[in-house]
Amino acid sequence: MNQLLEKIKEFGIVPVVVLDNAKDAIPLAQALCDGGLPCAEITFRTDAAEDSIRILAKEFPHMLIGAGTVLTTEQVDRAVLAGAKFIVSPGLNSKIICHCAKKNIPIIPGCSTPSDVEQAIEHDLDVVKFFPAQQAGGLAYIKAIAAPYVGMKFMPTGGINAQNVKEYLTYDRVLACGGSWMVKNDLIQAGNFDKIKALTKEAIEIVKESRGN
Ligand SMILES: O=C(O)C(=O)C[C@H](O)[C@H](O)COP(=O)(O)O
């Protein structure tokens, strides 16, 4: 498996962040790092995404910063140029996967059906996002879909929180979980970075528990 994906596995959780204002990028990143999780997927849902990635790549070079909600090859280019180290998309788009392969940047596309997973295999991928995880059938569905595709690992995202993340993480075909519960937009907007740090610490404790240490 790609080294960067190994790193994501080590973290166990990828915070999915929506930033309305790039000025929040630094305190947000500081809270994540202080909480013990130097990793973030900055989503291209807002205009602030590209600047936020650029700021974090420069100011927090030790952090693993990726771009999420990537829907076009143009966004891939902007994300990579800004310094994103990985790309995540909600669905599987062959054009985007080929573009990422050309640029040699890891992509984790969203899958929610066996056909999606088979397309990912066609592209030689061994990790996919499972989205929307909780709503599409949760861990039971992942176990069922993982059975025939023995080489595939999953990053469940969507509806995951401090209450249900542990059960996902204890399944060995789950690489890591994605989620926004520790970086909720209202906490960012309220400047409540202490709470973000506390929720991040709690999340990291759950990762440790799921690994029996
Ligand atoms: O933006 C994307 O690229 C997505 O595919 C959706 C996000 O991953 C989920 O919205 C996160 O889910 P929550 O943790 O339930 O907020």
Task: Please check the confidence at residue 213 and state whether its pLDDT lies above 80.
Answer: no
Tokens of 202: 């709690």
Residues in a beta bridge with 190: none
Please tell me the residue having the least CA distance from ligand 1 atom 7: 158
Cα 200 vs. chain centroid, distance in angstroms?
14
Provide the 3-class DSSP secondary structure of residue 81: helix
User: Cβ atoms within 10 A of the Cβ of 147, count?
Assistant: 9
Residue ranges per structural domain of the chain: 3-203
Give the tens place of pLDDT for each residue, 123-169: 999 999 999 999 999 999 999 999 999 999 999 999 999 999 999 99
Give percent helix, percent strand, percent coil of the chain, each to the nearest 5: 50, 15, 35
Task: Please check the confidence at residue 59 and state whether its pLDDT lies above 90.
Answer: yes
150 Cα to the center of ligand 1, angstroms: 25
How high is the ipTM of this complex?
A: 0.94
Please tell me the residue having the least CA distance from ligand 1 atom 14: 179
CB–CB of 203/31 below 8 Å? no
Query: Going by CATH, does the domain composed of 3-203 fall within 2.40.30.10?
Result: no
Closest CA to 139 of 181, 168, 101, 173: 168
Q: Which residues contact 64 (CB under 8 A, 6 or more apart)?
A: 4, 7, 8, 11, 38, 39, 40, 85, 86
Provide the 3-class DSSP secondary structure of residue 154: strand
Give the tens place of pLDDT for each residue, 63-101: 999 999 999 999 999 999 999 999 999 999 999 999 999
Cα Rg of the chain, angstroms? 16
Q: Is 110 exposed, middle or buried (0-12, 13-18, 19+ CB in 10 A)?
A: buried
Cβ 156 under 6 angstroms from ligand 1? no
Model pLDDT, residue 1: 73
110 Cα to the center of ligand 1, angstroms: 10
Task: Please check the confidence at residue 195 and state whether its pLDDT lies above 90.
Answer: yes
d(CA 38, CA 51): 18
